[in-house]
Structure 1
């Protein structure tokens, strides 16, 4: 964990991120997010951890007033090099701060994939919820896509998996699980004829009920939880989507 900060993952992985995640089609996420935006109040939308613009750019192409924040200048540079990426205002900073450079209030804030869990402590995750709530307009939504923690995959709290095996390269992940701190500390390992490439990825997972409690602390209410972007039933596995809402009127 030493020297690992909010920007570390992006700074070390920006040049290979799109290649390694090419199988993740953002189309369903973009479609569902666009529908949620239409259902809510009018106003700009903020993505936490915009990365290389995998979701941000196609969503902005729908005519949505989209903003972003990311801790990694290298990831944002990749986004800005893509068509349409340079037109999206992005703040370089910790996503737990949400939007430190503006007083703007947002109709929706969202974070996709497993990125919310890159906030490495429960305190940081709660701080993010509280800051999101403070930036939402009445009736605004906080939408999270998160993976359901699958701790049963870990034998003696560790796991090595092969993701690609070819004539010229092997790509592995090696992960240690800390059940006390609810952390996965992992490395993507790329072995080729020219050497070894390491790409660290550490995260602190949270259970769905824990996310709900964070939302309550922040004054948000859960409106929906689906088993994916198609609004399928949540069955406690895979990636799921939760929609929290800021009440239109403050609770008495």
Structure 2
């Protein structure tokens, strides 16, 4: 299984500025949530990116490893203060194996959907289970399918419209696919990115987790542990390896 790299140097260089809109309080909540689940102080991040979670988690006392497909994103992580504390391996999170077992594997910021086939997403769950110690947890944060668009068959949905950033999702309902179109404007000009994705429901995630030998233990609407209900815009799910 070979995945395309949609995060070359130009995207990686601006990634934190373009995509990291979480407040300091939100970042603290994410780190605290994950820290609590790392019962033996070990964690593995799938799609470690620029290290915006793995570095503060390591600073909280966790021994963190990461798998990241993009060499440019790896370079960004390793260039940051604290980046040298992360054991980072370049590779595909759906198939790459690294040494050791972990009490926590996590995949956040909708990155599961960057795997654009059922097979790749299923393999990701299997790979997470292979890295987990018995009783360890796999945590996924992912957006929900575009239920309203599916019902109306509306193929386009604007999700960002500011002076600096325009964003439109384009859906292919027949194949459970989409493309996120981004346009950023600043003093240096215009940057564009078209990121394909496969939207996936929490229920489909549960089936993939079960096939990999993991059981759902919790599901929330956000990192404050708000109840997951019909008003939720995403899910944060926790599965336990039996």
Please report the TM-score for the alignment, with normalisation by the length of structure 1: 0.86
Q: Return the alpha-carbon distance in structure 2 between the equivalents of residues 162 and 123 of structure 1.
A: 30
Match of 1:159 among 154, 157, 160: 157
1:37-48 to structure 2, matched below 5 A, reads: 37-38=38-39, 42=40, 44-48=42-46
Unaligned 5+ residue runs, structure 1? 248-252
1:9 deviation in Å?
A: 3.0
Q: 1:118 corresponds to which residue?
A: 114
1:226 deviation in Å?
A: 1.1
1:188 deviation in Å?
A: 0.7
Q: Return the alpha-carbon distance in structure 1 between the equivalents of residues 20 and 47 of structure 2.
A: 18
Q: Return the alpha-carbon distance in structure 2 between the equivalents of residues 161 and 147 of structure 1.
A: 12
| Worse-matched range after superposition: 138-147 or 18-27 | 18-27
Contact 2:160/2:168 (<8 A) preserved: no
Shift of the 226–159 alpha-carbon distance from structure 1 to 2, 3 Å rule, reads: closer
Q: Per-residue CA shift, 1:164-184, capped at 9, x if unaligned?
A: 22xxxx421132101122112
Q: 2:47 corresponds to which residue?
A: 49
Q: 2:29 corresponds to which residue?
A: 28
Aligned alpha-carbon RMSD (Å): 2.1
Contact 1:175/1:184 (<8 A) preserved: yes
Q: Return the alpha-carbon distance in structure 2 between the equivalents of residues 217 and 234 of structure 1.
A: 23
Equivalent residues, number: 235
Please report the TM-score for the alignment, with normalisation by the length of structure 2: 0.89
1:172-251 to structure 2, matched below 5 A, reads: 172-191=166-185, 195-236=189-230, 237-247=232-242
Unaligned 5+ residue runs, structure 2? none
Larger radius of gyration: 1
Q: Return the alpha-carbon distance in structure 2 between the equivalents of residues 233 and 161 of structure 1.
A: 23
Q: Per-residue CA shift, 1:57-86, capped at 9, x if unaligned?
A: 100001101000000111111111111012
Contact 2:37/2:103 (<8 A) preserved: no
Q: 1:250 corresponds to which residue?
A: none
